[in-house]
């Protein structure tokens, strides 16, 4: 049965991105009570930034033409690399085990949270394909960044993740769903757009429910 890796990156303990990923995970696990499930909270347990030893591992993988993750440990040849690999191995193992990678990510400063970027850095190695895995990103933004919005060109959250998944992991069908205008709840200057925010939440929740059902029907039904 399929294995779900559920990742949250919001610095808030209660957030729209967390609510959406919880909704997805609950529906997924209800559809497959005996299936695999792994949860990682990057905000409460952030991975450390990559360092020199990590770069040495990458260099040797390229030098020796190693692209199979099963063989990565072959280049862990120094105590410093072993320490770096001790960070990488569990994170990478979770991704390799997963059939579906579910990521909850708010937009921070037009991009992704630092902890999510660090996680991506830690698990990514040269010519590493994750084709065949389903990637789902459920996000929240304080403003409006959808097609046609004045700030759409400033969206370096979805654009970055979509380009990265396709360009490095060979995953060109990642799914993105967003709640927008969450700042209408705290910023009086945006209060007149509160109804748009609530409509965005309703649409996103319905889309999450349809997405779970659609993934099961297209990949694992029957």
Residue ranges covered by each domain of the chain: 3-45+96-120+130-220
pTM of the model: 0.94
- Dist. CA 60–CA 54, nearest whole Å: 10
* Residue 222 pLDDT exceeds 70: no
Q: Is 142 helix (H, G, I), strand (E, B) or coil?
A: coil
Q: Which CATH superfamily is domain 3-45+96-120+130-220 in?
A: Flavodoxin domain (3.40.50.360)
Average pLDDT over every residue of 98-118: 97
Contact 76, 92 (CB under 8 A): no
Binding residue per annotation — 139?
Answer: no
Q: Average pLDDT of the chain?
A: 94
- Dist. CA 208–CA 222, nearest whole Å: 21
Residue 221: pLDDT band by 50, 70, 90 thresholds? low
> 102: which strand partners?
6, 136
Binding residue per annotation — 17?
Answer: yes
Contact 166, 158 (CB under 8 A): no
- At 12-67, the pLDDT tens digits run 999 999 999 999 999 999 988 888 999 999 999 999 999 999 999 999 999 999 99
CA distances to 51, 138, 147, 219 from 14, rounded to whole Å, are 32, 14, 27, 31
* Residue 219 pLDDT exceeds 80: no
Binding residue per annotation — 164?
Answer: no
Closest residue by Cα to residue 55 from 114, 7, 125: 125
- Dist. CA 129–CA 24, nearest whole Å: 25
Ordered strands of the 134-140 beta sheet: 36-41, 3-8, 100-106, 134-140, 175-179
């Amino acid at each position: 049965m399929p294995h779900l890796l559920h990742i949250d990156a919001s610095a808030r303990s209660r957030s729209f991105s967390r609510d959406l990923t919880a909704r997805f995970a609950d529906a997924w696990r209800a559809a497959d009570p005996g299936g695999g499930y792994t949860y990682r909270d990057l905000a409460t347990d952030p991975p450390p930034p990559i360092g020199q030893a990590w770069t040495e591992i990458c260099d040797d993988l390229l030098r020796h033409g190693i692209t199979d993750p099963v063989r990565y440990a072959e280049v862990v040849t120094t105590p410093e690399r072993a320490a770096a690999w001790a960070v990488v191995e569990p994170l990478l193992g979770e991704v390799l085990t997963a059939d579906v990678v579910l990521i909850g990510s708010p937009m921070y400063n037009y991009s992704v949270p630092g902890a999510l970027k660090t996680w991506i850095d830690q698990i990514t190695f040269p010519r590493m394909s994750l084709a065949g895995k389903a990637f789902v990103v459920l996000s929240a933004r304080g403003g409006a960044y959808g097609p046609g919005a004045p700030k759409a060109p400033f969206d370096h959250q979805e654009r970055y993740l979509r380009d990265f998944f396709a360009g490095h992991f060979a995953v060109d069908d990642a799914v993105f769903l967003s709640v927008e205008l969450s700042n209408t709840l705290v910023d009086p200057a945006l209060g007149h757009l509160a109804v748009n925010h609530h409509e965005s939440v309703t649409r996103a929740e319905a889309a999450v429910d349809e997405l779970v059902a659609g993934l099961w029907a297209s990949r694992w039904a029957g």
